[in-house]
């Protein structure tokens, strides 16, 4: 039988999503397992392989799987390894030959691997808002800020496979916030879900301005978003500030690779009614005149739960 | 006879350098004309074509020219146009179909065109310090700061042909110096020859610190370099400062495209004994741990006068 299907796997810190995908981008069968049940990689891979065998059987697809694409934090496209990934309970201290291990555990089906943001960029190019685009930059606004850069129709991997760490370019040069990566002032420290919540907390501490956020014990980016939707002035200004910082950095990114569009994806991108205007304002004020008003800001058109599987699956068509 | 030769043309604001180049990168014949004798493009192209015919005849290469490569400010690889180039006396107000005009003026020899920094990157990859590298970033430190980005063995042109304006990414976010491009705080406003001279002048005004530079009427970057070589403490600190700003931005660039090396070229790169250490220090302090100490900083190995011609000529081999 023709090998006309692929599998996409998205490995996050907490959950791993897997799905069987056909050439039109339909997910035929899917499942989710915990990523954080194990501190060693071997039992995790065994559990993952069992889950894959289950959905393969469910779809009657035993001889039809052409390949498996994996999106994982710190995933290296060139070597198929997951390298020192601090957010994975079994991945922090080592370089894991993940593609090889998984392929062996599923009877030799070939496995290709990249980081989650690159996989998201491939998904958007193959099935989503970037269809037909050959030059765009995908920015994922989630717990962190990730990026996948597409130039001339190809994801940029760079010399070592790790290109596209735009979340760790410098947004605030002096007295910047400390970032999880060990540096200070990174874009991620401001423009991630965690960064937005932190901005709100800092601003509440620094003034007596009334805000519905004051009544909360813990503040998440979702709380800030809901407060902004309820008209809370401080919460709205948090998004103005976040959008400005994003737009300033997008101007730099445009001057690097002259993309047709910046594509936003991830939980925080849902706040687009508050982010779009300040992003575009700062982006166009800070970019060279030749690009002013010319680079689109678009939002992912894929369902977030599907996007991760579809993006990773897009990798497997290249196998 | 086999078409085994190419022509490289480097158009600068003041002079235009042309040469006939063979496949080994030997310049068989060359000449220079003024770029700024005309305010209209037609007489400039006529003069350039005459100069080319002269060197072609000189080399006995009438039927051997495969193509012509041109490096020009604001040159667009995709369209062969020079667009609104403020530094060219005949180029500021319009979009000029330069490749087409020149080809017609030399009897139909095909012409390819890109900006000068991209041409420099191609020259370095074909004949110079980046031979064998597939991922590097060329930074030209001259009157301005230009850049040519190579990813996976190809120069990055982006969606519109103008990618690689790293000299206009933001080096100083707040109260930055005004740049020729109309923005403030650009890398070019600090790390170009003009920027270095300006730093020296500003520091001399702000303190009474003794410096040999105080005796000069006008200060150029060359003066600052010579003062530093003579042990002048202020001049040396100017290069420390310039190197730090370059290194900080290089960290961002590395996080974008994960190059194997940053290649420095241009007049200011001659000050490498004062720039290397502060650049590497700032670059490694500001980049993600995974790249610390891993990205090379190398200097062009091509003679500056030859490099411009060789770089442009490298374009023509692709014709």
Q: A254-274 pLDDT, tens per residue? A: 999 999 999 999 999 999 999
Answer for the pair B157, B119: CB distance below 8 angstroms, yes or no. no
Q: What number is the average pLDDT over the span A99-123?
A: 94
Number of residue pairs across A and B with CB atoms under 8 Å?
123
Q: Which CATH superfamily hosts domain A5-122+305-316?
A: ATPase, nucleotide binding domain (3.30.420.40)
With CA atoms as reference, the chain B residue closest to A180 would be B288
H/E element, B198: helix B193-206
Give the C-alpha separation, B105 to B9, whole Å: 15
Query: What's residue B97's pLDDT?
Result: 96
Answer for the pair B44, B29: CB distance below 8 angstroms, yes or no. no
Query: Using 50, 70 and 90 to split pLDDT, how confident is the model at A173?
Result: very high
> What is residue A190's three-state secondary structure?
helix
Query: What's residue A139's pLDDT?
Result: 97
In degrees rounded to 5, what are phi and psi of residue A100?
-65, -45
Tell me which residue in B157, B183, B252 faces A286 most closely, judged by beta carbons: B183
Tell me which residue in B161, B172, B257 faces A158 most closely, judged by beta carbons: B257
Residues pairing with B268 in the sheet: none
Chain B residue numbers with beta carbons less than 8 Å from the beta carbon of A151 are: 151, 156, 158, 163
B310: nearest Cα among B168, B88, B128, B182:
B128
Give the C-alpha separation, A164 to B281, whole Å: 22
Taking CB atoms and an 8 Å limit, are B257 and A183 in contact across chains? no
Query: What's residue A318's pLDDT?
Result: 82
B138: nearest Cα among B107, B167, B104:
B167
Residues pairing with A186 in the sheet: A170
Q: What are the angstrom distances between the C-alpha of A19 and each of A10, A292, A313, B229?
A: 9, 41, 8, 64
pLDDT tens-digit series, residues B22-76 = 988 899 999 999 999 999 999 999 999 999 999 999 999 989 999 999 999 889 9
> What is residue A21's three-state secondary structure?
strand
Average pLDDT value for chain A: 94
> What ipTM does the predicted assembly reach?
0.92
Q: Angle at CA A300, nearest 5°, toward A296 and A301?
A: 115
Tell me which residue in B135, B163, B252 faces A258 most closely, judged by beta carbons: B163
Chain A residue numbers with beta carbons less than 8 Å from the beta carbon of B248 are: 170, 173
Tell me which residue in A83, A168, A248 faces B170 most closely, judged by beta carbons: A248
- Reply yes or no on whether the pLDDT at A92 is more than 80: no
Q: Where are the domains of chain B?
A: 5-122+305-316, 131-300
Average pLDDT value for chain B: 94
H/E element, B28: strand B27-34
With CA atoms as reference, the chain B residue closest to A169 would be B252
> What is residue A40's three-state secondary structure?
coil
Taking CB atoms and an 8 Å limit, are A256 and B255 in contact across chains? no
- Reply yes or no on whether the pLDDT at A304 is more than 80: no
Q: What number is the average pLDDT over the span A151-155?
A: 96
Q: What are the angstrom distances between the C-alpha of B105 and each of A95, B47, B276?
A: 59, 10, 45
In degrees rounded to 5, what are phi and psi of residue B31?
-155, 170
- Reply yes or no on whether the pLDDT at A3 is more than 90: no
pLDDT tens-digit series, residues A174-199 = 999 999 899 999 999 999 999 999 99
- Give me the count of residues in chain A: 319
Backbone dihedral region of A49: left (phi > 0), alpha (psi from -120 to 50 degrees) or beta?
alpha
Q: Which residues of A159-198 are buried (b: 16+ CB within 10 A; e: fewer)?
A: bbbbbbbbbbbbbbbeebbebbbebbbbbbbbbbbbbbbb
Taking CB atoms and an 8 Å limit, are A257 and B260 in contact across chains? no
Query: Using 50, 70 and 90 to split pLDDT, how confident is the model at A307?
Result: confident
What Rg do the C-alpha atoms of chain B give, in angstroms?
Answer: 20
What proportion of chain B, given as a percentage, has pLDDT over 90? 86
B262: nearest Cα among B137, B153, B147:
B137
Give the C-alpha separation, B82 to A3, whole Å: 49
Query: Using 50, 70 and 90 to split pLDDT, how confident is the model at B239?
Result: very high
Give the C-alpha separation, B268 to A245, whole Å: 32
Residues of A with CB under 8 A from a CB of B: 83-84, 134-135, 149, 151-152, 154, 156-166, 168-170, 172-173, 181-183, 248, 251-253, 255-260, 286, 288-291, 294
- Reply yes or no on whether the pLDDT at B93 is more than 90: no
Q: What number is the average pLDDT over the span B119-133?
A: 92
> Does the B131-300 domain belong in CATH 3.20.20.480?
no
Give the C-alpha separation, A83 to B218, whole Å: 54
Query: What's residue B84's pLDDT?
Result: 84
Give the C-alpha separation, B3 to B9, whole Å: 18
> What is residue A221's three-state secondary structure?
helix
Chain B closest-CA separation from residue A157 CA (Å)? 7
Tell me which residue in A160, A286, A290 faces B170 most closely, judged by beta carbons: A286
Give the C-alpha separation, B288 to A123, whole Å: 26
Taking CB atoms and an 8 Å limit, are B288 and A252 in contact across chains? no
Query: What's residue A1's pLDDT?
Result: 63
- Reply yes or no on whether the pLDDT at B104 is more than 70: yes
Is the pTM here over 0.90, yes or no?
yes
pLDDT tens-digit series, residues A193-251 = 999 999 999 999 999 999 999 999 999 999 999 999 999 999 999 999 999 999 999 99
Residues 6+ apart with CB under 8 A from A229: none
Question: Does B127 or B171 have the greater pLDDT score?
Answer: B171
Query: What's residue B242's pLDDT?
Result: 98
Chain B closest-CA separation from residue A147 CA (Å)? 9
Taking CB atoms and an 8 Å limit, are B181 and A253 in contact across chains? no
With CA atoms as reference, the chain B residue closest to A184 would be B286
In degrees rounded to 5, what are phi and psi of residue A3?
-85, 90
Chain B residue numbers with beta carbons less than 8 Å from the beta carbon of A162 are: 258, 290-291
> Does the A132-301 domain belong in CATH 3.30.420.40?
yes
Query: What's residue B1's pLDDT?
Result: 63
Residues 6+ apart with CB under 8 A from B26: none
Give the C-alpha separation, B294 to B155, whole Å: 22
Q: List Cβ<8 Å contacts ≥24 apart for A266-270.
A: A266/A140, A266/A141, A266/A142, A266/A146, A266/A300, A266/A304, A267/A141, A267/A142, A267/A193, A267/A221, A267/A222, A267/A304, A268/A141, A268/A142, A268/A191, A268/A192, A268/A193, A268/A196, A268/A221, A269/A141, A269/A299, A269/A300, A270/A225
Tell me which residue in B135, B183, B248 faces A159 most closely, judged by beta carbons: B135
Tokens at B254, concatenated: 């590395």
With CA atoms as reference, the chain A residue closest to B294 would be A160
Q: Which residue in B161, B244, B245, B258 has the most chain A C-beta atoms within 10 A of its own C-beta, making it the best mutation to test that interface?
A: B258
Chain A residue numbers with beta carbons less than 8 Å from the beta carbon of B256 are: 149, 163-166, 169, 253, 256-257
Chain B residue numbers with beta carbons less than 8 Å from the beta carbon of A256 are: 149, 163-166, 169, 253, 256-257
What proportion of chain A, given as a percentage, has pLDDT over 70? 100
Tell me which residue in A163, A183, A291 faces B256 most closely, judged by beta carbons: A163
Tokens at A43, concatenated: 């039992």
Query: Using 50, 70 and 90 to split pLDDT, how confident is the model at A75?
Result: very high
Q: Fold identical between A5-122+305-316 and A132-301?
A: yes
pLDDT tens-digit series, residues A18-69 = 999 998 889 999 999 999 999 999 999 999 999 999 999 999 998 999 999 9
């Amino acid at each position: 039988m023709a090998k006309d299907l692929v599998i996409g796997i998205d490995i996050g810190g907490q959950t791993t999503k897997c799905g069987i995908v056909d050439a039109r981008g339909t997910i035929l069968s899917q499942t989710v397992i915990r990523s954080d049940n194990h501190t060693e990689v071997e039992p995790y891979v065994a559990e993952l392989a069992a889950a894959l065998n289950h959905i393969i059987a469910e779809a009657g697809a035993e001889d039809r799987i052409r390949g498996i694409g994996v999106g994982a934090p710190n995933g290296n496209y060139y070597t198929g390894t997951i390298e020192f990934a601090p957010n994975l309970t079994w991945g922090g201290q080592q370089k894991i030959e993940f593609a090889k291990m998984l392929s062996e555990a599923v009877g030799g089906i070939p496995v290709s691997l990249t980081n989650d943001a690159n996989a998201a960029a491939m998904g958007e190019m193959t099935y989503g808002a970037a269809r037909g685009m050959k030059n765009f930059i995908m920015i994922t606004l989630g717990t962190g800020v990730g990026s996948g850069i597409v130039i001339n129709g190809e994801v940029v991997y760079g010399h070592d496979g790790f290109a596209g760490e735009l979340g760790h370019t410098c947004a605030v040069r002096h007295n910047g916030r400390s970032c999880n990566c060990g540096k200070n002032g990174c874009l991620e420290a401001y423009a991630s879900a965690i960064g937005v919540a932190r901005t709100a907390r800092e601003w509440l501490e620094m003034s007596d301005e009334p805000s519905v956020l004051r009544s909360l014990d813990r503040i998440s980016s979702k709380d800030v978003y809901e407060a902004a939707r309820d008209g809370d002035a401080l919460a709205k200004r948090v998004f103005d500030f976040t959008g400005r910082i994003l737009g300033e950095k997008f101007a730099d990114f445009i001057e690097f690779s002259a993309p047709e569009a910046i594509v936003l994806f991830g939980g925080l991108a849902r706040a687009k009614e508050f982010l779009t205007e300040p992003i575009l304002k700062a982006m166009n004020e800070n970019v060279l005149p030749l690009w002013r008003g010319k680079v689109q800001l678009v939002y992912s058109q894929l369902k977030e739960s599907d996007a991760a599987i579809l993006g990773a699956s897009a990798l497997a068509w290249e196998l």
